[in-house]
Amino acid sequence: MLNIVLFGPPGAGKGTQSQKLIEEFQLTHISTGDLFRKHLGEGTELGKRAQAFMDEGRLVPDQLVIDMVDEKLQAENNSHGIIFDGFPRTITQAKALDDLLNQKNTPITGMIALSVPDEELINRIVERGKTSGRVDDQDEAKIATRLQVYKSETLPVANYYEAQERYESIDGVGSIDDIYDRIKEALQKLQEKN
Ligand code: ADP
């Protein structure tokens, strides 16, 4: 069973690479950003509570995120495994995820981090904003906030996995296929450590 955290700043290509991984390894994709956007679109109570944070590029409060993931995991029984995309984004979320998976006896195999320079990230997000319809992709100040939040609140999550030898980082610049090859190499290394 493969439980992978795909990690990286906004615009790093986590969604794109997740799609390739879920196809090849028949994994379930849990993207908290996608889940929140679905709630927003359906006008649920959770969506309403998350909207202001998302629109401004700030993190949705931990407990809302954790409860949403918990609900997803309860309903999940894919024996191949799960890709977590955009989650965990804080140490509190990382610890909560470990607790939830320990209950199921299916721990995280490891984290694969995509490393991409800020300038490239900003270009990619601005480009995506032309078609994504995402409010948070269309404003330079909001993009800057997201990068800042990533550095201050989310980057420490990488140390959390690294300290447990469940971490591999790869260069996230290049063609989609080249990056995917690097991800698979990283995956192999993580599996050897387990
Ligand atoms: P990106 O990685 O491009 O910023 P996401 O789709 O992952 O986009 O997330 C969009 C927004 O949803 C985030 O800016 C944040 O407001 C909210 N969000 C998504 N995942 C989380 C999370 N794990 N914790 C807190 N907020 C989150």
CATH, residue 17:
3.40.50.300
Structure tokens at 137: 């992709």
> pLDDT per residue over 130-161, tens digit each?
999 898 999 999 999 999 999 999 999 999 99
The domain containing residue 62 runs over which residues?
2-193
> Is the CB of residue 8 less than 8 Å from the CB of residue 111?
no
Average pLDDT over residues 180-191: 97
Report the C-alpha gap between 57 and 148 in whole angstroms: 10
Residues with CB under 6 A from ligand 1: 10-11, 32-33, 36, 53-54, 57-60, 65, 86-87, 89, 93, 136, 146
Q: What are 46-98's pLDDT values in tens digits?
A: 999 999 999 999 999 999 999 999 999 999 999 999 999 999 999 999 999 99
Ligand 1 centre distance from Cα of residue 86 (Å)? 6
CA–centroid distance, 146 to ligand 1, in Å, is 9
Mean pLDDT of 163-171: 97
Asked if omega into 117 is within 30° of 0 (cis), the reply is no
Residue 194 has pLDDT above 90, yes or no: no
Overall domain count for the chain: 1
Q: Where are the beta strands (DSSP E) in the chain?
A: 2-7, 28-31, 81-85, 110-115, 167-171
- In terms of residues, how long is the chain? 194
134 C-alpha vs ligand 1 centroid, how far in Å? 12
Torsion 55-6-13-145 (CA) sign:
positive
**Report field, pTM of the whole predicted structure over 0.75:** yes
Span 113-125, average pLDDT = 97
Q: What is the DSSP letter of 105?
A: T
Q: What is the three-class DSSP state of 131? A: helix
The pLDDT of 29-42, averaged and rounded, is: 97
